[in-house]
Amino acid sequence: MRIGSRFYCTTAPIDFNIYDSEAQCRLPDTFPDRGDADKACKQLNTASLQRMINESVYASSP
């Protein structure tokens, strides 16, 4: 019989973050809920798309 104690590390809470595929890195913001992360991701994608549209309109105007 062995006598001893075991130590278990506590796990960190799991948060959600967003991966930027262009910069190939995770953004620093973390979200406690997947729904919050999805919402933030959609907002970032919408803002990026809007910038791309504005840039293409600006570039194509005489």
pLDDT tens string 4-61: 666 666 666 678 989 988 888 998 989 999 999 999 999 999 999 999 999 887 777 6
Domain borders along the chain are: 16-60
pLDDT value for 14 = 78
More confident residue, 34 or 62: 34
Check pLDDT > 60 for residue 1.
no
Quickly list DSSP for the chain.
Answer: --------PPPPPP-EEEEETTTTEEEEEEESSHHHHHHHHHHHHHHHHHHHHHHHHHHH--
